[in-house]
Structure 1
Amino acid sequence: MYLAITEGVLAAVLVREEGKAQQPIYFVSRALQGAELRYSRLEKLALALLVSSRRLRQYFQSHQVVVRTDQGIRQVLQKPDLAGRMMTWAIELSQYDLSYEPRHAIKAQAMADFLVEVTGNPAEVTDTRWKLHVDGASNQTFGGADIILESPAGFIYEQSVKFEFPVSNNQAEYLALLGGLVLARKVRATRLEVCSDSQVVTAQVNGSYQSRDSLLQKYLERVKELSKQFEEVTVQHVLRERNTRADLLSKLASTKPGTGNRYLIQGITKEPAVALHLTKISPSWMDPITDFLENGKLPQNEKEAKAVRREAAKYTVIQDQLFKKGLSQPLLKCLHPDQTDCVLREVHEGCCGHHIGGKALARKLIRTGYYWPTMMNDSKEFVKKCAKCQQNANFHRAPASELSLLTSTRPFAQWGVDLLGPFPVGPGQVKYLIVAIDYYTK
């Protein structure tokens, strides 16, 4: 048995000696995976011998096997103070008649080396992922971000950006992440591992947290759009102690002008990458009431003005938001018609919804704290359009009225007729009897 190994492949050749000639019997090869790649050279040789003994058990049990290798595997397997896997392997190999000799430059060994070269090292795959460390910081006037991009070869790009507009901490973290994705795209990185010390940003990107801020939602959509341009992007949260370099440079960019530190790529951003575009909402039932409560304006029509004045007594405006007052209930937030569909869907089939009926849904909306005039009819119509409610509802299959059963013998109408007689003559000079029987009703 000749053994040969590389960093990721082990191989063995079993030969039979007949004088000076050697005849190859069997080839064994295996690619190392996982923790096996971190074994020492002697451990890999012992593993190669163990794998060969398991695959060629019939040869090892029937013959004496001489192991020829250029490593001191005999001294290792016969040490009395072995522990762990090497001790387990030595016990398993002790059942065979094995002897060890140094290998020589013979053809069989050349075949073993050739097998290793042909097999190659499929388990050894170079890591092509770039590592990106981002961090953002902000103060009362402006903010800053730092980006550290490390290539698989070890080359490091550092970029410090100053924001000349007020940003929050979460916005600064998102801007740092966006800048890092843009930089990675410019250097043609395909697989990216992002590290950030902001738990909010990393959790929102990974989907663990839900973004409720409108501006952060825009940032999140922008991050997802840029991530689609890469083959793989993984975002993980790291402690601030492991992100010290990026944290220091982001604070430097947010507190000092970008004139010093020439070893950095410094830049200035004057406008935010994402901005909210406000659109004017359509007119709704709340406008006349809000105008009267805030500005005292009434419609020109006297009848409509009287109705608005009477209806406005049930409402109040708090921080530019219309609320409905009640005698035995808290203030109810009035919703615009464009917002009712989202609220109906969330209450009916959201995380706390259980597909209740129309009237129950309207009452639950009131308990939740919402109100609009047509909420009862809208709730009933919404429930009627719910596909899951239609598929899983308990339908009443009884008929609308009581059924009246009609027995019809026409499908089974068959008669048997027979003529009996002659009998003694009876009144009317009759002497014969005709008998007819219905086969269905007898």
Structure 2
Amino acid sequence: MYALRFDFQVSNNEAKYEAILTGLLLEREVGAKDLSASSDSLLITILVNDTYEAKDQRMQRYLDTTRKLTHSFKSFKINHISQGKNKRANAVSKLASTSFDHFTKKVLVEVLMERNIDNRKIDSIAMPHDWTKPYLEYLLHDVLPDDRAISRKIKINAPQFSIREKQLYKRGYLALWLRCIAHAKGQ
């Protein structure tokens, strides 16, 4: 499971857009080509599906950013589902709003320090040369990067990682250990 926690104020619709954008970024990073998403927000699904235009300036920025990201996929479809059929997502959202120290090994919690519409991840095509290095440095030598936000993220996510024979592994959803590699090596 994957949950988001916001280090800034968000409305309900903004939180749902942040979830969609984060999912799109993750899917793009792993190289997905065809993507189907679901949302229990009727407003967001009709906006993303080009049925209506957003009126609020911030919502328009979310919509523009979402559409820009969806164009990086061969195909993209978003469907509306009722809240009753979205029980698992609702449960994860409630978990993310509580203290998450006790379940970091079961639920991946990402803390967003800024809005996805305010950062440069959307336009960036180039991936970091080796994202595993900061985790290895922290787990092996207790050394963190100088950037406070990155250091905090590494500390929060570190319990999900382990080192075996100088290789970084991450606990998978089914308690399997997945070997972590740099993006270039994955390509």
TM score, norm. by length of structure 1: 0.26
Identify, as 1 or 2, the structure richer in helix: 2
Deviation at 1:210, TM superposition (A): 2.1
The match for 2:30 is 187
Partner Cα distance (1:200, 1:206) in 2: 10
- Specify which structure has the higher proportion of strand: 1
Does structure 1 retain, via aligned residues, the 8 Å contact 2:53–2:60?
Answer: no
Which residue in 2 is equivalent to 1:245?
Answer: 88
Give the alignment partner of residue 99 of structure 2, picking from 253, 257, 261: 257
- The structure with more radius of gyration: 1
Correspondence 1:162 to 2:5: yes
Q: 47, 57, 61: which is aligned to 1:204? A: 47
Partners of 1:249 and 1:227 lie apart in 2 by 24
Q: Distance in 2 between matches of 1:253 and 1:202?
A: 23
Deviation at 1:247, TM superposition (A): 1.3
Q: 2:109 aligns with which of 254, 257, 266?
A: 266
Gaps of 5+ in 1: 1-157, 276-442
Following superposition, the deviation at residue 257 of structure 1 comes to 2.6
Unaligned stretches of 5+ residues in structure 2: 119-187
Task: Verify the 8 A CA contact 2:33 2:74 in the aligned structure 1.
Answer: yes
Tell me, yes or no, if the aligned pair for 2:38 and 2:81 is still in contact at 8 Å.
yes
TM-score, length of structure 2 as denominator length: 0.60
C-alpha distance in structure 2 between counterparts of 1:259 and 1:161, whole Å: 14
d(CA) in 2 for partners of 1:173 and 1:206?
15
Segments of 4+ moved more than 4 angstroms: none
Give per-residue Cα distances to partners, 1:210-230, cap 9 Å, x unaligned. Answer: 210000000111101111111
Ranked by relative contact order (alpha carbons within 8 Å, sequence separation 6 or more), the top structure is 2
Q: What per-residue deviation string (whole Å, max 9, x for no partner) do you get for residues 209-262 of structure 1?
A: 2210000000111101111111110011001121111111012212x1332222
Percent of residue pairs bearing the same amino acid type: 34
Query: Tell me, what secondary structure is at the counterpart of 1:194?
Result: strand
1:213 maps to 56
Find the aligned partners of 2:64 and 2:15 in 1 and give their Cα distance.
16
Aligned length: 117
Conservation of the 8 A alpha-carbon contact between 1:258 and 1:267: no
Task: Tell me, in whole angstroms, the C-alpha distance in 1 between the residues paired with 2:113 and 2:99.
Answer: 13
Q: Please give the residue correspondences for 1:362-381 in structure 2 after superposition, counting only pairs within 5 Å.
A: none
Other-structure match for 2:149: none
